[in-house]
Amino acid sequence: MLKRILAISGRPGLYRLVNHGKNSLIVESLTDGKRFPAFNHVFFIEMGYIEIYTSDGGEAPLADVLEKLKEVENGATVDIKALESNGALREELAKALPDFDEDRVKNSDIKKLFTWYNCLIAAGVEKFKDDEIAEDQAAEAAEAADSEATAE
């Protein structure tokens, strides 16, 4: 699911990839549903490729962190302003990802993570990981079928 969701530099919120244009991507805002082109000169990243640093030197995929955060919050949104005012951002993230790297993960990163989580929950996204695995398996099956067809 997260492989079709984009964060676009200079624009608030998250966007769903709808189609490819000639020199752009056609995206749709998750908040208001408006579509527009995202041109090649704009920096964007697919949410499926984002990872969070862990204390053991590794990285945790964003989909896993969002799934755990959803479990911790019982599917509700996170009150970012309340956490920001009393400095509890790190404590809240530690509930979902206890081994995140305290030195490399900044408060602004945590705030952005919670903002993205709230945006996805508000857009009705209920699964962050399962759909992604099914998409990957379907793509692998299609590639295998193509390679078998060309080998014959």
Given this model, what pLDDT does residue 137 score?
56
The closest alpha carbon to 60, from 100, 4, 14, belongs to: 100
2-47 matches 50-122 in fold: no
Q: Please tell me the CATH code under which domain 2-47 is placed.
A: 2.30.30.730
The closest alpha carbon to 62, from 15, 135, 5, belongs to: 5
Given this model, what pLDDT does residue 115 score?
92
Per-domain residue ranges for the chain?
Answer: 2-47, 50-122
Q: What angle do CA 98, 60, 144 make, to 5 degrees?
A: 150
Residues of the chain with pLDDT under 50: 132
Distance (Å, rounded) from C-alpha 115 to C-alpha 31?
12
Whether the model clears a pTM of 0.85, i.e. scores above it, the answer is: no
Given this model, what pLDDT does residue 142 score?
57
Token duo for residue 151: 């080998």
Q: What fold is seen in the domain 50-122?
A: Arc Repressor Mutant, subunit A (1.10.10)
Given this model, what pLDDT does residue 141 score?
58
Residues contacting 74, CB < 8 A, separation 6+: none
Write the secondary structure of 16-57 as one string of H (helix), E (strand) and C (coil): EEEEECCCEEEEEECCCCCEEEEECCCCEEEHHHCEEEECCC
Count of CB atoms situated within 10 Å of the CB of 83: 19
Given this model, what pLDDT does residue 152 score?
53
C-alpha radius of gyration, the chain, whole number: 17
Given this model, what pLDDT does residue 39 score?
87
